[in-house]
Structure 1
């Protein structure tokens, strides 16, 4: 009886592990798209397969549907490696802001750069007859397409 119980427990663990494995269609799709990927790490999130990896010197995270269809890839880009047209616009429009991170997001129908900047806002108030300075920080995502065209900004939740 005890051996049957242990067998059933092991069978359950094996079945659970099999359910968690990345489907062959997903790994084939990934390998076809990123042949030279290194440091590959898979997990599942919200019913889709996510993979972090290194490719062409960059850290990336890709998302695939369980059928193997590629959904998107996010590439972390060092700020100093952004295209000059983006850094020029940052200096021009956001000279007081500090660029914190940059990501290039590829989807089947679009490619966009997301640059997260920290904006310090200063407000001078008069309180009880005295002037005081109040500083607040906000975070903004600046969006650019792959042709360096500025698409706008999104306020980021803190």
Structure 2
């Protein structure tokens, strides 16, 4: 695990971030001074802490903000989402949960854990809920 962390930091240091992306990030999050940069899926990902929350902001090469993912605890999910998970997915545990904000909408993405070959894995496709607790099977995001 330590090797992967060191490798991740080394790769982050090698990312050349366009000025437009830096400027957009600084306008959107002016109080953030330390962010880890990475380049994934043709977008720049910036991981940082903001007001006590772990966030990842995603920008296109031209500086356009795509979305921000806010890591949240199970207890921070709306009651109706927790209730849905308790009733419909009682045999699984929540692995990760995010509040996802885009220019068009806000959603909750919940990644469930599953057992595979005796190991705990996080499912690739999240359960997605809108802010009205409507459940979607597929993401509505770009």
TM-score (norm 1): 0.64
Runs of 4+ displaced beyond 3 Å = 137-140
Alignment map for 1:56-75 (pairs within 5 Å): 56-75=51-70
Partners of 1:77 and 1:103 within 8 A in 2: yes
Provide closer, same or farther for how the CA distance between residues 108 and 88 of structure 1 changes in structure 2, counting only shifts above 3 A: same
Most deviating of 41-50 and 84-93: 41-50
Offset of residue 95 of structure 1: 2.0
Provide closer, same or farther for how the CA distance between residues 88 and 42 of structure 1 changes in structure 2, counting only shifts above 3 A: same
Offset of residue 36 of structure 1: 2.2
Alignment map for 1:69-108 (pairs within 5 Å): 69-108=64-103
Aligned to 2:24, the other structure's residue is in SS state helix
CA RMSD in angstroms, aligned pairs only: 2.8
Alignment map for 1:1-158 (pairs within 5 Å): 20-118=15-113, 139=123, 141-152=126-137
Output one character per residue of 1:6-53: Cα deviation in whole Å (capped at 9) or x when no partner: xxxxxxxxxxxxx95322221121111112225311232343222111
The structure richer in strand per residue is 1
Aligned-partner Cα distance in 1 for 2:21–2:114: 40
Aligned to 2:91, the other structure's residue is in SS state coil
Aligned to 2:35, the other structure's residue is in SS state strand
Q: How many residues align?
A: 122
